[in-house]
Structure formats: structure tokens, C-alpha cells
Amino acid sequence: MEQYVVKPGPEAFLPPAAASMGIVLPDPGEAHYEGRIIDEEDAYEQIARKLLGAKVPTIFPGPLVLWKWNEKAGKKAEAIRELANALPARLIPMADYRPKYPKIDPEVEINPNHPNLTIWHNKIDACIFVGVHCHQANLALKIIRGGTDCFTIALCAQAGHEDACASFRDINVEKIKKLTETVKRLKSEGVESQALPFTQIKMTRAGRVA
Amino acid sequence: MNKKVEPKSNKILVSESVNLGEEGLKGQKVTDPNVMMFESEREPNFLTGSEVIKAAIKRANLDVMIAYPITPQSEAAALIGELFAEGYVREYFRGESEFAVMSQCAGAAFGGARVFTTTAGPGTLRAMENFPMWAGSRLPIQVCVTCRGINSPLSIQPDTLEMAYLLETGMLVWHAETAQDLYDWILGGFMVSEQPDVHLPLALCCDGFFVTHTKDTVMLQGEEMCLPRYDPYRSPVPCMDMECPPIRMMRDPFIMKSNYISYMTHASWQQEIHAAVERSRKHTLPIMNGSLIDTENVDREILIVASGTAVSQGREAIRLLEEEGIKVGLVKIKSIRPFPTEEVREATANAKTIFVPEFNIRGWLAREIKAILPNNERVIAGPHVAGGMTMPSEVIVEEIKKGLGIKSATMDRRG
């Protein structure tokens, strides 16, 4: 049997979990790209190029970075904002994992139980998951792979995500800043962002204000 | 896919937020598990399996143990009570039944505690609803299952049939052959099941009485060291959050929302549990000496493939057969979930006949092996004993000779 490759979908009615297809997570100092283990240093440029080449690059910050539950989370959130500005990329929050029925507002939020709605609605072709609890991230990444053609990237603070098309492990403020620096360097070398014009959403507890 | 994972580094990954060297319970020193498991000096001790469980828990920096009496695990549960009285366990109490115990274990684990319990036979089955719930909730609880008979008429004696019921719960399932396995895997088991990419419960099984109530020489580290504490901030799901899954789903399950998305979310959730079982492979390798199986002379045409104490009996049968010039190899399966599919395929590639002796009447291990091997007519399921019967090595010898068409003295007058 050929080695499974973790590529954007749409893959299947119910795609398999990549770990069940023999994809193994990276060890410290490594990353993975489409299921292949690569050196972490090489991953910065590959991922930065993927984001710059996307028409609707989007960052989904999860509850671990949306809420300032410790100082590190606050600093990580600032670093993510810098990355979003540098690309540029939309920021659409995953505030929590509560199932929302009958459905979410896909313009301003993403939910791990039906993340494909947000991807489809906004025509997102490359996205970053960051600050999402690992189980919820894998759930959402697999559903996205199943039903959309979005290239998924996970910036994971733990062991990484084989269900994403690309992922870092042990992500911290320094690594996010390094990814931002890589984006800036590529742009200075002439790689142009292909992102379509957009306005970053602004929200309060009452909902969208801009 | 059950793909074999090659060990890159024989190291246990430890949370960066752990303060190694700090004081644990009773003045124990929190020690890097790599130092504790692989580098520290060990002394021989002559102990029963139950005493070995106590010795491991003493060094496990355990938060909660919940007990309920059922033979043959009662002694181990009581001995851990002694540890609580001595100050080596943070919380200990008796539940109302096995079902209650496993539910209470879930509550403690949801709250961010390292949790251990023991059970056996009918207790395992009484608690059964909780095991897939533990796995689905990604709770890294460890339960030591000291296997015994489960069916009526009642038997308290050794029998591994209950393991068959655990196989598809989403738990890790390991099968210890010896008290030394039991000791090393209790400590190592916490390190594997608490990894953020695994974070699943572990059913650490051993054969009741044969392991729990017989004495063996076990190599133990000093009592002055203990494992780092469990770090609940690495959990792949939020700790004790009533509004979010998995707890939310116990009162507001996906299934109550009748639509395709809810069903698919549940299916994906199940896939993620079994994906986590697969991820445990690379973390288990350092704990199990680099492989989920042990092999001896697998270039031979006749093999015994077994788990638990059937391995010990198989080893002795091989010695007896060797005296008669019949050469037989051995495969010891240590992890049942994840199942070492590729490893067993490789080890049995040259075998013409494969015998699978088991301490249960149904032969669930032989079924597992037949399901993964090409030319599985090579697999002979047996011999089987159950209900507390011993499996004399001569019975395995007889089965092998019968399988090979060699005449042998019958064992039917033994017992």
C-alpha cells in the first residue's frame, strides 16, 4: 500500500484519521508537511510560502490564546496578531468548543464540530489553527480535510497534528515570531502576498461591530 | 493501518513545566522518568504481584486511588490504602461498586488528577460502560486488571476472557507476563497514557493469582525518587469545563441533534480516540525495551505466540521440546492495543506452524493473530485452559506434537 499523504481535500464522506493511516507525529526539532517529517528549520519557509500564496489566508485563534489565562497566552496572542498583520491574514476566532445550533455565524466564528461551514462561507484556502486543544483541533482538521480544499496548518504547543497538512510542535512566542520574520523576509525578496483585500472583523460581547 | 513505528530515540518525553528535583510526597525527589526507569540503580526484591503494585504506586506520585474489593485485586487495593495512610498517595477511598469506582475515577481525572485503580473479572464487566467513556473523554486513568473468570457459575480463578471485552473500548491494553513487567509498566504506563497526543486510559492486565499471588524477584529503584506529577494543562481537552465537550456531551450529546453534522462529529471523535491509540506506539517503545513484542529464535518453522503467563508456560514447553530435538521459537506480545501487527507479521514470516496458547476458552488472541497474518491456516488456536485451570507446559508440548503429527503421551489423566 502506498504511503498516505495528508493533502487538502475534499477527501471523503468520512476521511480517516491520519494517525490510523500510519502518519507519525514529529519529534522535538521536527515538523511535518503533508505527512512527511521535515526539519523544523525548513518548515518555516515552506509554511510561509503556502500562506503568502493563498487568496484567503486565515488564522483561527482558539481559547488557549484568545483568553489571557496567563502571561504567556497574552504574549502569544500579540505574536499571532503580528503574524496576521505581516501576511496579511484574516483572524476568525474559535472562542470555545460549545456546539452551537442550529448554526454558527460563519463570517465571524469557527466551531470544531462543523468547521467546514466557516471554510466554505469565506472561501478560505489556507488556514492556521493555534491555541486550540489538541483533540478539538484534530477533530476540526479532519473534518476540514474531508469536505474542503483548504490547506490546514497547526501551530501546536504540544506534540503537533498529523491531521493538518502541515504542523509545528512545541510552538511558543519565539517560534511564532520566527514564522513572522520568515514571511517578512520572503516579501522583501519579492514574494508577493496573493491575499484578496479584506477588512479585519471587530467584535465585542454583543457581536460584530465592524 | 497498525503501522510499525521505528524508535528514533529511546526516551520518554517529559512536560517542560515539570520541576525536576522538587520535593514530592514524603520527601521523595521528583525525578526525570528517563533517569528513574533506565539509569538508576535497582535492588532485587522478592515480592508478590500485589506487593509489586504497591511498590510501583509508592513511586508514582499518585493523586487519587479509588478501591473496591474483588478477588484477586483486593490485596493490591488494600496495600495502596496503606500507602495513603503513610502519606504516599494524596487521596484514597472506597467506592460503592465497580461502576461507581470507575465513574469516580473519571470525576477525579476530569479535575486534573493522576488516577489509579484496580479491578478484576465481574468487576471489569460491571464497570464496562465507563471504559469507552474514559477513552472518549481522553482521561489518562490507569486500571490494573487482574484477570479472573467472569461467567456464571462463579469462578475467582485465573482466566483472561475479560480482556476480550476491553479491546475496542479505545483504551490502551497491555498484558504483563511477570511481576517485573507489571512494576515497570505501571510507572511507564502513566508516562505513555499522559502524553498529550495519547492521553488515553490504560488497562494494564495481568493474570490473576499467577502474577498477583505468587512471589517473584523484581528489580526496584530506591524509594527516594518518584515520577513527575501529572500536568493537566497538556490535556487535549479542557479540564472540567461543563459548557464544552467532552463533559457537555454527557448531558447534551451530539446524538440529540439529529443532523448529519452531529453524526459526523461523533464519528470523527471516535476516529480521534483510535488515532490516539496509534500515537501511543512511539511513546511505548522506550517502556517496552524498543518493541511491542519480544522474540526468541523466530527463524524457526514452529512458533509459539502468546501474551501474559501463557508466555512463561510456552517458554518452558520450548525447553522440553528442545530436549527431544524439536526446535520452537517464541513471540511474546506485550501490547494488545495498539496491536503489534507489523511486528507479528515480520516475526512469523518464516513460520510454518504457529501455536497460540491462551488462558481463556474462546481464544481471542488467536483470532487477533489470524486476522493480521497472511496464510493464517498456519495458526493453531490452542491449547486453551480456563476457569482457573493451570496450563502445564506438557499440555503445550502435546498440542505442538499433535499439530505436527507426532505421537505423544496423552495428558488426559493429569489434573
pLDDT digits (tens, 9 = 90+) for A1-57: 688 999 999 999 999 999 999 999 999 999 999 999 999 999 999 999 999 999 999
- Chain A 181-210, CB below 8 Å of chain B: which residues? none
Neighbours of B31 (CB within 10 A): 23
List C-alpha distances in Å: B65 to A174, B118, B141, B186, B196: 40, 9, 10, 13, 22
A110 in contact with B, Cβ within 8 Å: no
Torsion region of B26: left, alpha or beta (phi above 0 gives left; psi -120 to 50 gives alpha) = left
Residues constituting chain B? 415
Residues constituting chain A? 210
**From the list B238, B243, B268, which residue is nearest A139 (CB)?**
B268
Helices then strands, counting H and E runs in chain A, come out as 6, 9
Here the ipTM equals 0.95
Per-residue pLDDT of chain B (415 residues; tens, 9 = 90+): 556 777 677 889 888 888 888 999 999 999 999 999 999 999 999 999 999 999 999 999 999 999 999 999 999 999 999 999 999 999 999 999 999 999 999 999 999 999 999 999 999 999 999 999 999 999 999 999 999 999 989 899 999 999 999 999 999 999 999 999 999 999 999 999 999 999 999 999 999 999 999 999 999 999 999 999 999 999 999 877 777 777 766 666 665 565 667 788 889 999 999 999 999 999 999 999 999 999 999 999 999 999 999 999 999 999 999 999 999 999 999 999 999 999 999 999 999 999 999 999 999 999 999 999 999 999 999 999 999 999 999 999 999 999 999 887 766 665 5
Determine the distance in angstroms separating the CA of A191 from the nearest CA of chain B, rounded to an integer.
35
Q: Do B228 and B304 fall into the same domain? A: no
Helices then strands, counting H and E runs in chain B, come out as 14, 16
Number of domains in chain B: 2
In a domain, B219, yes or no: yes
What value, to the nearest 5°, has the Cα angle with vertex A73 and ends B277 and A180? 90
Query: CA B186, CA B184: separation in Å to the nearest integer?
Result: 6
Contacts of residue B265 in chain A, CB cutoff 8 Å?
Answer: 99, 113-114, 139, 143
Determine the distance in angstroms separating the CA of B253 from the nearest CA of chain A, rounded to an integer.
10
Cβ(A135)–Cβ(B138) under 8 Å?
yes
Determine the distance in angstroms separating the CA of A55 from the nearest CA of chain B, rounded to an integer.
27
A129-176 tens-digit pLDDT = 999 999 999 999 999 999 999 999 999 999 999 999 999 999 999 999
Q: Which three cell numbers stand for residue A117?
A: 461551514
Q: Do A17 and B274 touch (CB under 8 A)?
A: yes
Whole domain around residue B327: which residue ranges? 293-404
Q: Do B221 and B300 fall into the same domain? A: no
Q: Mutation test of the interface with chain A: which of B2, B3, B14, B259, choosing the one with the most A Cβ atoms within 10 A?
A: B3
The DSSP H or E segment spanning B105 is: helix B98-110
Q: Do B54 and B176 fall into the same domain? A: yes
Q: Do B141 and B221 fall into the same domain? A: yes
Domains and CATH numbers, chain A: 34-191 (3.40.50.1220)
In a domain, B300, yes or no: yes
Contacts of residue B279 in chain A, CB cutoff 8 Å?
Answer: 19, 24-25, 159
Determine the distance in angstroms separating the CA of A184 from the nearest CA of chain B, rounded to an integer.
30
Contacts of residue A133 in chain B, CB cutoff 8 Å?
Answer: 235-238
**From the list B8, B138, B279, which residue is nearest A27 (CB)?**
B8
Cβ(B412)–Cβ(B174) under 8 Å?
no
Cβ(B60)–Cβ(B114) under 8 Å?
yes
Q: Which of B199, B215, B234 is the last residue of a domain?
A: B234
Q: Do B159 and B300 fall into the same domain? A: no
Cβ(B196)–Cβ(A138) under 8 Å?
no
Contacts of residue A142 in chain B, CB cutoff 8 Å?
Answer: 268, 271-272
In a domain, B280, yes or no: no
Q: Mutation test of the interface with chain A: which of B34, B252, B279, B284, choosing the one with the most A Cβ atoms within 10 A?
A: B279
In a domain, B335, yes or no: yes
Cβ(B186)–Cβ(B54) under 8 Å?
no
Q: Do B211 and B348 fall into the same domain? A: no
Q: Do B131 and B228 fall into the same domain? A: yes
One-letter amino acid for residue B120 of the chain: A
Q: Which of B234, B251, B283 is the last residue of a domain?
A: B234
Q: Which of B211, B234, B257 is the last residue of a domain?
A: B234
φ/ψ of A114, rounded to 5, equals -150, 60
- Judged on CB neighbours under 10 Å (0-12, 13-18, 19+), B355 is buried
Q: Do A24 and B5 touch (CB under 8 A)?
A: yes
- The contacts of residue A36 (CB under 8 Å, 6+ apart) are none
In a domain, B328, yes or no: yes
B312: domain CATH number is 3.40.50.920
Q: Mutation test of the interface with chain A: which of B278, B339, B341, B345, choosing the one with the most A Cβ atoms within 10 A?
A: B278
Torsion region of B108: left, alpha or beta (phi above 0 gives left; psi -120 to 50 gives alpha) = alpha
Q: Do B75 and B151 fall into the same domain? A: yes
φ/ψ of A11, rounded to 5, equals -100, -45
Cβ(B317)–Cβ(B304) under 8 Å?
yes
Q: Do B222 and B299 fall into the same domain? A: no
Query: CA B19, CA B9: separation in Å to the nearest integer?
Result: 22
Determine the distance in angstroms separating the CA of B198 from the nearest CA of chain A, rounded to an integer.
10
Query: CA B302, CA B269: separation in Å to the nearest integer?
Result: 42
Q: Do B134 and B209 fall into the same domain? A: yes
Cβ(A162)–Cβ(A23) under 8 Å?
yes
In a domain, B20, yes or no: no
Q: Do B248 and A99 touch (CB under 8 A)?
A: yes
Determine the distance in angstroms separating the CA of B237 from the nearest CA of chain A, rounded to an integer.
6
Residue of B nearest to A27 (CA): B8
A12 in contact with B, Cβ within 8 Å: no
In a domain, B64, yes or no: yes
Q: Do A158 and B236 touch (CB under 8 A)?
A: yes
Q: Do B123 and B230 fall into the same domain? A: yes
Query: CA B199, CA B172: separation in Å to the nearest integer?
Result: 10
Residue of A nearest to B136 (CA): A135
A120 in contact with B, Cβ within 8 Å: no
Neighbours of B258 (CB within 10 A): 8
| Residues in a beta bridge with B331 | B295, B305
Q: Do B317 and B179 fall into the same domain? A: no
B76: domain CATH number is 3.40.50.970
Task: Calculate the CA dihedral of residues B84, B85, B90, B91 and round it to 10 degrees.
Answer: 80
Q: Do B271 and A22 touch (CB under 8 A)?
A: no
In a domain, B278, yes or no: no
Cβ(B404)–Cβ(B354) under 8 Å?
no
What value, to the nearest 5°, has the Cα angle with vertex B130 and ends B125 and B135? 120
Cβ(B189)–Cβ(B196) under 8 Å?
no
